[in-house]
Amino acid sequence: MIFAAGLGTRLKPLTDTMPKALVPYKGEPMLKSLVVILKESGFQDIVVNVHHFADQIDDYLAQNGNFGVSIRTSDERDLLRETGGGIRHAASLLKGTDPILVHNVDIVTNLDYSSLLDNHKIEDLATLIVSDRKTSRYLLFDDENRLVGWTNIETGQVKSPYVNLNPDLYKKMAFSGVHIVSPKIFEVMKTWPEKFSIIDFYLSVCMDYPVRALTFEGLEVRDLGKIADFH
């Protein structure tokens, strides 16, 4: 699943006339670059959620023959559901027995996508691709790479289902915007509201369902969230 529904407010004025997914990076729309990489890595069934300038994305995919793979859109024109709500809204398109790769459209990495799903353990609810890049907000993991919380090191804020969690006792890792989810996630999130953050969801359920970190030596992650990131 590719998240392409966002408003792209940090990319204004470019996103005043086009969706973030169609903003070009190195000469090609971000959506095309990601779809081509996934296709070359063996992915044949892709779901793209749409909201902001959704018609432009539909038209672009149709004009390019979906780049030779199966691409279906999860329509969020009525409501932008955020990341967690977006996954649940696409349940009918995603449900099956295989793990699901979820990828922000504005994330560029050097991951080997062809074998990435092999790293997901069947007993885990989700596998989060993380790195040690510098940021102010980190996910916290224990020695078994299991998610236990989140912290903002600038404000000292901590979120965790574990009472009085001390963030200094855990590994601090930055989320890449790439994760793998188990199909059982839809059952776990069925009582959640229509609109919610997937990170808030992970933090809420991680005590009961394993959510693990996965990183790779030499992992490079570029977030194209702001115009300055394109240079």
Indicate the SS3 state at residue 198: helix
Question: Considering the domain boundaries, does residue 9 fall inside one?
Answer: yes
Residue 112 lies in a domain: no
The CATH number of the domain holding residue 202 is 3.90.550.10
Categorize the per-residue pLDDT at 96 as very low, low, confident or very high, splitting at 50, 70 and 90: confident
Residue 173 forms part of a structural domain: yes
- Region 39-44: mean pLDDT is 97
pLDDT at 228 over 90: no
Alpha-carbon separation of residue 40 from 36, 108, 126, 204 (angstroms) = 6, 15, 24, 35
Number of domains in the chain: 1
- pLDDT, one tens digit per residue, over 97-127 is 899 999 999 999 999 999 999 999 999 999 9
Q: Is residue 38 part of a domain?
A: yes
**197 domain-assigned:** yes
- pLDDT tens per residue across span 158-217: 999 999 999 999 999 999 999 999 999 999 999 999 999 999 999 999 999 999 999 999
Q: Give the 3-state secondary structure percentages of the chain, helix then strand then coil, rounded to 5.
A: 30, 30, 40
Residue environment code for 84-111, b if the CB has 16+ CB neighbours within 10 A, otherwise e? bbbbbbbeebbeeeebbbbbbbbbbbeb
147 near 203, Cβ under 8 Å? yes
Higher pLDDT, 227 or 138: 138
Give the range among 6-15, 34-43, 63-72, 158-167 with minimum mean pLDDT: 6-15
Confirm whether 188 is domain-assigned.
Answer: yes
How far is it, in rounded angstroms, from Cα 161 to Cα 40?
40
Element (DSSP H or E) covering residue 137: strand 137-141
pLDDT at residue 226 greater than cutoff 80: no
pLDDT for the residue numbered 231: 65
Range of the domain at 189: 2-107+121-230
Contact in structure between 70 and 117 (CB atoms under 8 Å)? no
Which candidate, 2, 87, 81, places its Cα nearest to that of 36?
2
Task: Select the more confidently predicted residue: 182 or 7.
Answer: 182
Does 187 reside within a domain?
yes
The pLDDT tens digits for 123-172 are 999 999 999 999 999 999 999 999 999 999 999 999 999 999 999 999 99
pLDDT at 229: 75
The pLDDT score that the predictor gives to residue 149 is 98
Q: Tokens 């808030």 appear where?
A: 200
* Residue 115 included in any domain: no
